[in-house]
Amino acid sequence: MAPGANIGDFIGLFEATHGTAPKYANKDMINPGSLLLSAVLMLEYLGWVDAAHSIETAIEKTISQKTVTYDLERQMEGAVKVSTSQFATNIIANL
């Protein structure tokens, strides 16, 4: 769940740090955390610190509730595995 940012003198580019993983396309199972945290970095870069903090806090709360995608579920005792879309819905609910 590492975000990515490439910031130059005049522009910033924000992206997930992993590859595209085409074998997982349309399977609704991948953790969107890297992309969401990249968006947090973008919002901070744009000066929208409150919005960035709200999203980051919602992600942290969702993970602490142990309703997570398969990659985190297998590492967390007592966690419940959910789809990408359900994980995102839970994050939105925690905003």
Q: pTM value?
A: 0.91
Give yes or no for residue 21 having a pLDDT over 90. no
Give yes or no for residue 60 having a pLDDT over 90. yes
Q: Which two tokens mark 12? A: 């910033």
Q: Is residue 15 left, alpha or beta, with left meaning phi > 0 and alpha meaning psi from -120 to 50?
A: beta
Give yes or no for residue 19 having a pLDDT over 80. no
Q: Which two tokens mark 53? A: 């903090």
In this prediction, residues 23-29 reach a mean pLDDT of: 92
Cβ atoms of residues 14 and 43 within 8 Å: no
The DSSP bridge pattern shows strands 12-16 and 67-68 to be unpaired
